[in-house]
Amino acid sequence: MSEHAEQEPLVEVRIGNSQVTLLGTAHVSRASAEKVRELLDEGSYDAVAVELCPSRYHAILDPDALSRMDLFKVIREGKVSMVAANLALGAYQQRLAEQFDIEPGAEQLAAIRHAQAHHKPVLLIDREIGVTLKRVLHNVPWWKRFGLFAGLLGSLISRDEVSEADIEGLKEGDVLEHTFAEFAEDRKDLFLPLIDERDRYMAARLLQELQAQSPERVLAVVGAGHLKGIQAYLDAGMERPAREIEKLDHLPSPSRWPRLIPWLIVALVMTGFVIGFMRSPELGWQLVMDWVLINGVLSALGALLAAGHPLTILTAFVAAPITSLNPTVGAGMVTAAMEIYLRKPEVGDFSRLKHDTTQVRGWWRNRVSRTLLVFLFSTLGSAVGTYLAGFRIFGRLAG
C-alpha cells in the first residue's frame, strides 16, 4: 500500500438508518485508488456513490465513445466550444495520468468495478459537466469568458511536470477548480458553480438515493475539495432534495441583448453601404471592398493558424463576409464543414483524440481537434473582422 493511502480524508455521516462514508480523493492519484479498493475489500457497503454524472460515467466505461462522435452534429448544434473545453479539461487530467502511469479517475473506476462485481448499485451523484460549464460561463462576466476559454486551451502549452506531492495537494481542492483557477482572474467567479453548487447537488443526490433505497451503508467517493461542503449540507439536511436538484440543474436564460448585437451590427453595416452608394458608387464599392477584405482576410488567417486545408482557407475568405451579414450562420460552420469534406477524420483520429490533445502539436495533428480549431479560429477571425470593418466603414463615411 502507498504511504499516502492511509492519509485519504474520511468522514462518517449518519442519516436516519443509513451510514454514509465520505472518502475524499484526488482524481489522478494512485493513493486514492488504493484507498478505495482497501475500503471496499474490508467494508460491507450496500451501495457505492461516485462523483460522476451520466455522461462521464459512460465515458469511463466506454473510453472509445469519442470514436463515435458526430462532428457535423457537434458543429450544427453549436457545441464546438463545449466539446473543445471538455477535451482540454480531459487532456489536463490525461497528461497527469500518463505522467504517473495511472488512469484518470482510477479511484472512481475502482469503485464502479467493485460494485458491479458484487452486484451492488452505483449511485451517480454529480451534476452533468455540460450544465456545470454553462453555469460557470453564466457566472463569469461576458468580457472574461473568452479569456477563460483561451486560458483553458493555453494551459495545454505548459509542459512542466507535476510532482506526486503536487498531485496529493489536489486533495485540498477540486480538479476542475484547480484547472480553471490557474488562469482565472477571480476565483470567486468559479467557486459557486464549480464547488458550492456541486456540494449541494451531491448532498441532495445522496439524500434522494437514501430516501429511495434506504441502504444501511454507503461509500461515497468524491473529490476531497468537496468533502467539507457535502458533509455540511448533509448535516443541515434538506426537506425536498428533488427540488434542490431541479434548481441546480436549471440553466439560466441567456440575456437578450447579446443576441441582438449581431443583428444591430448587420443593420448598421447595411445602412453604411446604403449611405455610401447614395453619396457615390465609388464610395459604396470601396466600403464593400473594405468589408470583404477585412472580414475575409482575418477569417482566412484564423483558418490558416488552425492549419486548415488551402481550400478551407479560401472558403473562409469567401464565406466570412457573407455569413457575417447573417448571424444565424457563422463562418466557422462553413469552414469546419469544408475541412471535414476535404480531410475527413479517420477512425484512428477519434481513437487517438484524448491522447493527442494532451500535447499542443497534437491539436493540430489530429484531424478531429484540428477541425474544432478551424471552427474556433475562423469564427474568431470573422468576429474581429466584423468589428474592424464596421469601424473602417464608418470612419470613411465620417471622413
Spans of all domains in the chain: 5-249, 256-398
pLDDT in tens, 341-385: 999 888 777 777 777 877 778 889 989 889 989 998 999 999 999
Is pLDDT at 194 greater than 90 in this prediction? no
Q: Give the model's pLDDT for residue 67.
A: 62
- For cell 446604403, the residue is 274
Residues 6+ apart with CB under 8 A from 125: 49, 50, 51, 52, 201, 202, 205, 206, 209, 220, 222
Cα 148 from chain centroid (whole Å): 11
Q: Give the model's pLDDT for residue 246.
A: 94
d(CA 325, CA 272): 13
- For 70-85, the DSSP string reads -HHHHHHTT-HHHHHH
pLDDT in tens, 164-182: 555 555 545 455 555 554 4
Is pLDDT at 228 greater than 80 in this prediction? yes
pLDDT in tens, 139-163: 777 666 666 666 555 555 455 555 5
d(CA 247, CA 231): 20
Tell me the pTM: 0.70
Q: Give the model's pLDDT for residue 88.
A: 67
- For the chain, how big is the Rg over CA atoms in Å? 25
